[in-house]
Structure 1
Amino acid sequence: MDQNNTILGTGISGPGNPVYGSELAKISIVESASLALTEALLNSDISQELKLNDICAGIGLAGVNLPHVYDEMIKWQSPFKSIYLTTDIHIACLGAHEGHDGAVLISGTGTCGLSNVKNHSKIIGGHGFPQGDKGSGAWYGLNAVEAVLLALDEMAPPTTISKYMCQVLKASTAEEIISKVAGKPASFFACLANTVFSALEDKDEVALAIIDEGASYISKMARLLLKTTPPRISFIGGLAEWIIPYLDQDIQKQLSSSLFPPEAGAVFYARHQTASLK
């Protein structure tokens, strides 16, 4: 990004969660940064001599709220001039509000909420799947599987989620479904969330109950964050546009559009940290 916040180059690489492999995360960070720099050099009049070791990098990662993960990553002998490390939710909040104070709700594979006001942060959720992440894609997917299995066992009302679930998994019995879902990660269950929203179009009451439960959780999270009086609050993530219509009406009215994507928040964070050292 340039000083006018114009994005000059982007780069996408592999997994970047150090909890599941710090070495792979480091490789992904370097690869994505290299791709972004290459594109930026092609799209601007920046000196072609610019290298990664000339750059102060803002890095937002899941898992660095855990002390041992943060310590491992901050000691990294990276190819950058310097690194400024924070959480993925923090850079998402900075991106949503162009580097200024605000709050953000996220519903993607997982869920989390953060408010950053006058250098004080409040984090809600982000505890991971399956012990947390209510209202997330993974949570919706897991609840869909549970609803389908209960329906097949005639222990709960039938639901059209079953039709969509069986199509996605190419399964028709409880045993076949279990064989497909047992031991799968959060990302797998998140891919099943769409079965709930598809069933909602059929006016399926089971699907509506699941969606309402997740949306109620997000609304409650928003109320807690709003108590910190953030100037703005945004709702982002792959499921946000699906869930917004089911949030409490007063919460819907207070939502503001995200101004920049999360990765831009990493740039804002690096700028803040660099300026604070001067």
Structure 2
Amino acid sequence: MNDDAEYLLGVDGGGTSCRVRLSTVAGRVLGEARAGSANVRLGVDKAYAEILKATDEALNQAGLDRSVLARTFAGFGLAGAVDASRCQAVRDFAHPFAAVAVETDAHTACLGAHRGEDGGILILGTGSCGVYQQAGRFDVVGGWGFMISDQGSGAWLGLNLVRQSMLALDGVIAQTPLSQAVLAGFDHSHARVLNWSEQARPRDYGAFAPLVLQFAAQQDPLAIRLLQQCGQDAGDLLARLQQLGARRVCLMGGLSAPLRPWLPEALLGLLCAPVGDAMDGALLLARNLRNNAVQ
């Protein structure tokens, strides 16, 4: 490798895991790796620890060491980087890179899905978020966290499953095989559900999503009601992206394929396949950062 060579690093820093892709300026991929959560809400230092852990592995694959990071322009798409102060804290951190550009992981997912061209995405995973990008301007729909947002997501599905199961336990609504399966995991105990809920995080609720899908295939009425509502809520986000101007929207996230049959039929014509991933989008950020630096 040329001792003066410059490099690009794209980071897809999600709430569950962080992925990195190292490439040459010409676009040749040199290494990829994964580490733990890079959600900046958990601390900028913790996010960087996971990013650098994955970066070290990518460097190892490329036969490089950390000395090249001083010539590496990095684009970060990070969960929780939703405001200017958090993004500034990431840029100001004592990092080893030539420079760092920061957006949310939803922004970079949108950039990657359309390779920087106009278009939207609807992420349906543990959480949910819609993004529309037009000529470098981003509009965000939802994605404000589990307590106040995340409609149409796996966490929403799990939370409402637990709520409905508690109503069934109280006799307010009829039990179904799905509610019985959920409650069996808590020994049909109100206290056990309560104690679990006080510690549960979005991913814990999201872990119930496969169970809902399994029982929906068996025509369980509770599972079907939950998926109908989840599909309608996701459809509302999709409709808003259309109102903002999106003519192409990529569904992304672990719940996107299973939930597609439950989306409003009138909106299915918007959907298209992504041409790239979030690390491609992060590399676009890094490339723009590098190009601006050398102008």
* Equivalent residue in structure 2 for 1:18, among 40, 48, 52: 40
Q: What is aligned with 1:232? A: 248
Is contact 1:171-1:177 (8 Å) kept?
Answer: no
Say yes or no: does 1:52 pair with 2:69.
Answer: yes
| SS at 1:112 equivalent | strand
| SS at 1:183 equivalent | coil
| Sequence identity (%) | 27
Q: What is aligned with 1:242? A: 258
Correspondence list, 1:233-272, <5 A: 233-272=249-288
Is contact 2:70-2:97 (8 Å) kept?
Answer: yes
| 1:250 alignment partner AA | A
Say yes or no: does 1:30 pair with 2:52.
Answer: yes
* Equivalent residue in structure 2 for 1:134, among 144, 151, 163: 151
Is contact 1:102-1:117 (8 Å) kept?
Answer: yes
Deviations 1:75-130 (A, max 9, x none): 11211111111111100101111232210000111110000001221100011012
Query: Mind listing any 5+ residue stretches in structure 1 that lack a counterpart?
Result: none
Give the drift of 1:3.
6.2
TM-score relative to the length of structure 1: 0.90
Aligned residues: 272
Give the drift of 1:50.
6.7
Greater shift after overlay, 179-188 or 26-35? 179-188
Shift in alpha-carbon separation, 1:48–1:66, aligned structure 2, 3 A: closer
For the aligned residues, what is the CA RMSD? 2.1
Q: What is aligned with 2:236? A: 220
Q: What is aligned with 1:186? A: 202
**Structure (1/2) with the larger strand percentage:** 2
| SS at 1:11 equivalent | strand
Shift in alpha-carbon separation, 1:50–1:77, aligned structure 2, 3 A: closer
| 1:273 alignment partner AA | L
Distance 2:98 2:112 in 1: 23
| 2:76 alignment partner AA | I
| SS at 2:148 equivalent | coil
Say yes or no: does 1:103 pair with 2:120.
Answer: yes
Give the drift of 1:180.
2.6
Distance 2:56 2:135 in 1: 34
Give the drift of 1:73.
1.2
Give the drift of 1:4.
7.1
Greater shift after overlay, 95-104 or 121-130? 95-104
| 1:81 alignment partner AA | A
Give the drift of 1:172.
3.0
Is contact 1:113-1:225 (8 Å) kept?
Answer: yes
Distance 1:223 1:215 in 2: 12
Give the drift of 1:148.
0.8
Shift in alpha-carbon separation, 1:204–1:82, aligned structure 2, 3 A: same
Distance 1:231 1:275 in 2: 29
Correspondence list, 1:124-163, <5 A: 124-163=141-180
Q: What is aligned with 1:113? A: 130
Distance 1:69 1:235 in 2: 27
Give the drift of 1:193.
1.8
| 1:19 alignment partner AA | R
Give the drift of 1:138.
0.9
Greater shift after overlay, 235-244 or 71-80? 71-80
| SS at 1:157 equivalent | coil
Q: What is aligned with 1:275? A: 291
Distance 2:73 2:29 in 1: 16
| SS at 2:282 equivalent | helix
